[in-house]
C-alpha cells in the first residue's frame, strides 16, 4: 500500500510531503513512546502517534520510518515541521483516534510494522 492510500483511509491532511503516492508503506507502528518505536519498529513502516514534538520526526529519521501520521487531531510543532521539510519526511494529520486509525488500516490489510507482531 502507498502513503496516498493510507492518507485516504485515515482522511489525512498532508502537512509535509509531495508525491506521497510514491511512498511505499510496509506496515504500521503505533506508539506515543519513542523509545518503543526505536526498540521495535521495522524500517519502511509508517508511525502513528500522538506525540507532536520534534522527537517524533527525529525518531522517524533515525529508525528509517517512512512517514508520521499524527492522530487525535494533533498537529506537529514548528520545529518538527521544519526538520521534516529538511529531511524530506512526510507528515500527515488525522482526526481519528489511535484505535480507529489502526483498525481501519488493519482492515485494509496493512500489517504490523514492528517486531512484536503475533501470528
Q: Which residues bind other proteins (CB under 8 A)?
A: 32-36, 38-39, 43, 51, 53-56, 58-59, 61-64, 79, 83
Cell of 49: 502517534
Is 48:102 a contact under the CB 8 Å cutoff?
yes
According to DSSP, the residues that pair with 2 across neighbouring strands are 24
Strands 46-49 and 67-70: parallel
Q: Which is nearer to other proteins, 35 or 107 (CB)?
A: 35
Q: How far is the CB of 8 from other proteins (least distance, A)?
A: 27
Query: Cβ of residue 106: shortest distance to other proteins, in angstroms?
Result: 23
Amino acid at each position: 500500500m502507498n502513503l496516498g492510500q493510507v492518507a485516504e483511509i485515515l482522511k489525512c491532511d498532508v502537512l509535509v510531503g509531495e508525491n506521497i503516492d510514491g511512498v511505499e508503506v510496509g506496515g504500521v507502528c503505533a506508539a506515543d513512546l519513542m523509545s518503543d518505536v526505536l526498540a521495535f519498529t521495522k524500517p519502511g513502516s509508517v508511525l502513528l502517534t500522538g506525540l507532536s514534538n520534534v522527537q517524533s520526526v527525529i525518531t522517524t529519521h533515525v529508525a528509517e520510518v517512512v512517514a508520521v501520521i499524527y492522530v487525535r487531531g494533533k498537529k506537529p510543532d514548528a520545529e518538527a515541521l521544519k526538520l521534516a521539510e529538511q529531511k524530506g519526511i512526510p507528515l500527515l494529520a488525522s482526526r481519528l483516534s489511535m484505535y480507529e486509525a489502526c483498525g481501519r488500516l488493519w482492515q485494509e490489510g496493512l500489517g504490523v510494522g514492528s517486531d512484536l507482531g503475533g501470528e
